[in-house]
Amino acid sequence: MGTTLKDIAEYCGVSSATVSMIINGKSGRISDDTIRRVEDAVRHLGYTPNIAARSMVTKQSKTIGLTIPDISDYFFSELAKGVGDEADEHGYDLLIGNTGSKLDKEKEYIQVFQGRSVDGIIFAPLNSCEENDLFQGLQKKHYPFVTIERYIKDQVPGVFMKNFQGAYDLTRLMIEKGHRKIAFITGPLCTASASQRLSGYKAACRSMNIAVDEQLIFSGDFSYESGNRVGMEFFDERECTATAILASNNRMALGFYEEILSHGLSVPEDLSIAGIGGARFYPVLNPKITTIDMPIYDLGREAAKLLFHLLKGEEIKKRAVEFNLNVLDQGSIRDLNTLR
Amino acid sequence: MGTTLKDIAEYCGVSSATVSMIINGKSGRISDDTIRRVEDAVRHLGYTPNIAARSMVTKQSKTIGLTIPDISDYFFSELAKGVGDEADEHGYDLLIGNTGSKLDKEKEYIQVFQGRSVDGIIFAPLNSCEENDLFQGLQKKHYPFVTIERYIKDQVPGVFMKNFQGAYDLTRLMIEKGHRKIAFITGPLCTASASQRLSGYKAACRSMNIAVDEQLIFSGDFSYESGNRVGMEFFDERECTATAILASNNRMALGFYEEILSHGLSVPEDLSIAGIGGARFYPVLNPKITTIDMPIYDLGREAAKLLFHLLKGEEIKKRAVEFNLNVLDQGSIRDLNTLR
DNA sequence: ATGAAAGCGCTAACAC
DNA sequence: GTGTTAGCGCTTTCAT
């Protein structure tokens, strides 16, 4: 199809080795004249290097692989953007594997990635007991990879958000504003992030001498709909006397918020609400939801940075990069101390 | 690194040609015994074909390229999901090029894609006069590609949404509900979709003998913030007597909605609002925004389908696939006919 | 029913 | 300074 090195070489009357060196910037000992002629020819003939051929000899493809559960989820597309931008700056391209949260798909992509000789892999969330084998296999092969928000034993390089601390801080804020009965909506507890957030909530309660009441813990799955569902359950149970709701992510918080409004109640006058981040949502609402700010884009970038360190064979000082999470108070938690 | 064809061949005491045929299902004239032995060895040794090597000889990479302006935008990530799922079903992988809406980035990705011998390319929106050259170049090289929502002369294969018709229908609905002064917020008019939506709006007005009032047309850029900004302008101009707002997409509609609420007004009692789709938004609001339902995922899938037809060299009956758009009335438009 | 050999486009080592 | 050569892992004739 396209122009090859050989075409350029013949056109210039030099060998393809010479052209190769020039193209790869290893023109140390090549005459300026030749360099110019070759460069002209490259432009003239419109040469594009064949990456496959190059990969075969260099053993690297300048590509990194990324597996994510769902690219249409804002969390993961924002993450992918961070990874992609960082890769781009290093002259790498990105192959994305959409797993649909299925472990066998993830395994499949590992094969695909290897077949395509990607230089390294980044794995975003998905959790199962089988995973350790997966990662151990890669480690044994010395295949560089980085995980995002996946806590696993024998810690491999990874980037994380301080989910526990974020949940803890937000819960503390609610308590400090005078709430003693705070309902919690969990995410899918098989994921590390959801279970850590739950732990943070519980720890904060205990730290303020509030007994954790299992009746106040509702289980969701990070979806908007599960926020709705919990909202309906909540209002059905007459005896539920919570004054505030904390959702493990913002999507669920929004789902719950909808139920509050559709019951003709107001936030925060009748009920306070907060969410632990992880989904973009357009403000609109008044008040907006008090939340935990999550640096998703940076998380992706940092994961890629870590991978590139690995690829350069650099000694990694810290195999785990952790991100602090900050509370963003937007007025959806009522301050009970001010009434009297 | 990994196991090669040759490894398998030696292990089984056959030639690599034989193994190759078996792996590629061209085992027509190979003894069942050999087949079984090879297949066992493949499993045992954990063979993964080297795609780069294969591509070199077959001249195809089983990869398609997709350029999008912003992967973290729901429209494009949903689109990418559709493309990816369809690709997956055909045994293809997806290389995504994030252009940040920059034409030179898009050009760069064309190079990258060619270098990686992607079998075909799908281009999602971005618009400029330089584009025609770009596409003509590809066409001359007989490089298969498909566009999404890009109207260009000498129509290349592409998939489209009936933006004009969608805007037209939604505007008509507003008029039928008795609105005569309908403000419009445009998207960036350099994009085909935005300008078509504007045309649809104007045409609907004219069809009902309503003069198009340029004072009622505000320019936005598809962002939430521009919806806010237009909202502020709107309320600043005392003489603006519109009873309804139509935004060229939902993000802007939401931005405007926020301004309505923050002025202490209600939808649709004080002001009616609608948006022409293109962004996911969580319901929450009451009423939800009346909108145009957009089959974004399907659009992506259909684009990929079209590309695969091209790749198979099949005769394309229709080079343009168009999607009908339907109005989704959710109550944010007040019916002025019912009052007296 | 299977093997030998050529060649895809490129880079790297070593000659000259 | 530049050319020659070998080889990366695979598929594909063409022999046998």
d(CA A106, CA A97): 8
How far does the CA of residue B203 sit from the closest CA of chain A (Å)?
31
Under the banding of pLDDT at 50, 70 and 90, the label for residue A76 is very high
Assess whether pLDDT exceeds 80 at residue A204. Answer: yes
Q: Cβ–Cβ of A261/B284 closer than 8 Å?
A: yes
pTM summary value = 0.91
For the segment B177-194, the average pLDDT, to the nearest whole number, is 94
Q: Whole-number Å distance, CA A157 to C1' C11? A: 32
* C-alpha R_g of chain A: 26
Cα B13 from Cα B6, distance rounded (Å) = 10
- Most confidently modeled of A59-68, A314-323, B308-317? A59-68
Which has the higher per-residue pLDDT, A220 or B313? A220
Report which listed range, A115-119, A197-201, B314-318, is most confident.
Answer: A197-201
Contact between B116 and A51 under an 8 Å Cβ cutoff? The reply is: yes
Whether residue B340 is predicted with pLDDT greater than 60 in this model: the reply is no
pLDDT at B253: 94
**A123: helix, strand or coil:** strand
Structural element, H or E, at residue B259: helix B250-262
Size of interface A-B (CB pairs under 8 A): 135
Q: Which residue has the higher pLDDT, A338 or A221?
A: A221
Q: B70 contacts in A (CB within 8 Å)? A: 81
Determine the 3-state secondary structure of B12 from DSSP.
helix
How is residue B42 written in tokens?
Answer: 């493949």
Task: Note the pLDDT of residue B238.
Answer: 67
Protein-covered nucleotides on strand D (Cβ within 7 A): 1-5, 7-13
**Residue B47, CA: closest nucleotide via C1'?**
D9
Q: What average pLDDT does the segment B167-196 reach?
A: 95
How far is the alpha carbon of B101 from chain A, nearest alpha carbon, in Å? 14
Cα distances (Å, whole numbers) of residue B137 to A313, B134, B141, B155, B273: 41, 5, 6, 14, 44
What spatial distance separates the first Cα and last Cα of chain A, rounded to whole Å? Answer: 80
Place of tokens 């992607």: B118
Pick the range with the lowest mean pLDDT from A14-23, A226-235, B248-257, B321-330. Answer: A14-23
What pLDDT score was predicted for residue A205? 97
Of all nucleotides, the one whose C1′ comes closest to residue A35's CA is D1
The whole-number average pLDDT for the span A291-308 is: 95
* B interface test, pick of A282, A286, A296, A330 with most B CB neighbours within 10 Å: A282
Give residue A1's pLDDT. 61
User: Which domains does chain A carry?
Assistant: 5-49 (1.10.260.40), 61-161+296-322 (3.40.50.2300), 163-294+327-339 (3.40.50.2300)
Give yes or no for residue B190 having a pLDDT over 90: no
Contact present, B73 and B126 (Cβ < 8 Å): no
Which residues have a Cβ under 8 Å from the Cβ of A185 and sit 6 or more positions away? Answer: A218, A219, A220, A226, A227, A230, A245, A246, A247, A248, A252, A253, A256
Interatomic CA distance for residues A220 and A187, integer angstroms: 5
State mean pLDDT over A219-227: 93
Is any atom of strand D within 7 angstroms of residue B57's beta carbon? yes
Do residues A162 and A327 make contact, with C-beta atoms less than 8 angstroms apart?
Answer: no
Give the pLDDT of residue A291: 94
Closest listed residue to residue A299, CA positions, set A68, A63, A78: A78
Mean pLDDT of A86-113: 93
The pLDDT-based confidence of B176 (bands split at 50, 70, 90) is very high
The overall average pLDDT reported for chain B is 90
pLDDT tens-place string over residues B71-129: 999 999 999 999 999 999 999 999 999 999 899 999 999 999 999 999 999 999 877 66
Sheet with strand A182-186: strands edge to edge: A217-219, A182-186, A244-247, A272-275, A290-293, A326-328
A58 CB less than 7 Å from any atom of strand D: no
Flag whether pLDDT at A335 surpasses 80.
Answer: yes
- What's residue A340's pLDDT? 52
Residue of B18, B59, B66 whose CA lies nearest to B42: B18
Residue A206: CB partners within 8 Å, gap ≥ 6? A212
pLDDT band at A29 (very low <50, low <70, confident <90, very high): confident
Q: What is the largest CA-CA distance in chain A?
A: 92
State the best of B62, B116, B285 to mutate against chain A, taking most chain A CBs within 10 Å: B116
Question: Cβ–Cβ contacts within 10 Å for residue A30, how many?
Answer: 15
Hey, CA dihedral for A246, A247, A253, A255, is it positive or negative?
negative
Q: Specify whether the CB–CB gap between B249 and B226 falls below 8 A.
A: no
The percent of residues above 90 in pLDDT, for chain B, comes to: 61
> Can you tell me the mean pLDDT for B273-293?
84
Contact list in B for residue A257 (CB cut-off 8 A) is: 284
Q: Is the model's pLDDT at B266 over the cut of 80? A: yes
User: Quick count: other Cβ atoms within 10 Å of Cβ B11?
Assistant: 18
Longest dimension (CA), chain B: 92
CA of A116 to C1' of C2 (A): 29
Check residue B138 and give its pLDDT.
Answer: 86
A79 pLDDT above the threshold of 70: yes
B318-334 pLDDT, tens digit each: 788 999 999 999 999 99
% of chain A residues with pLDDT over 90: 60
Q: List CB contacts of B111: < 8 A, sequence separation 6 or more.
A: A48
Q: Is the CB of B60 under 7 A from strand D?
A: no
The confidence score (pLDDT) of residue A184 equals 98
- Cα of B74 to nearest chain A Cα, Å: 6
Is residue A153 predicted with pLDDT exceeding 80? Answer: no
pLDDT of residue A77: 95
The mean pLDDT of B147-170, rounded to a whole number, is 90
For the beta sheet containing A120-123, the strands, ordered from the edge strand earlier in sequence to the opposite edge, are A320-323, A158-161, A145-148, A120-123, A63-68, A93-98, B93-98, B63-68, B120-123, B145-148, B158-161, B320-323
| Amino acid whose CA is nearest the C1' of D11 | B57
First to last CA, chain B: 80
How do strand B63-68 and strand B120-123 relate by DSSP bridges? parallel
- In this structure, what are the phi and psi dihedrals at residue B103, rounded to the nearest 5 degrees? -60, -40
Q: What is the pLDDT of residue B1?
A: 62
CA distance B155 to B160: 12
Identify all chain A residues contacting B93, using CB atoms and an 8 Å cutoff: 95, 97, 112, 116
Please give the helix or strand (H or E) that residue A89 lies within, else none. Answer: helix A74-89
pLDDT at B339: 65
The two tokens of residue B253 are 């509609």
Identify from A24, A262, A284, A297 which residue to disrupt to test chain B contact, counting B C-beta atoms within 10 A and taking the largest count. Answer: A284
> Alpha-carbon torsion A242, A244, A247, A248, what sign?
negative
Q: Does residue B315 surpass a pLDDT of 60?
A: yes
pLDDT on residue B28: 73
Q: How far apart are CA A77 and CA B245, in angstroms?
A: 31
Residue with tokens 């989820």: A73
* Amino acid occupying residue A55: S
CA dist B237 and B284 (Å) reads: 29
Beta strands A145-148 and A158-161 are parallel
Q: Measure the CA–CA gap between B248 and B227, rounded to whole angstroms.
A: 10
Could you read off the pLDDT of A7-20 as tens digits, one per residue?
Answer: 888 888 888 889 89
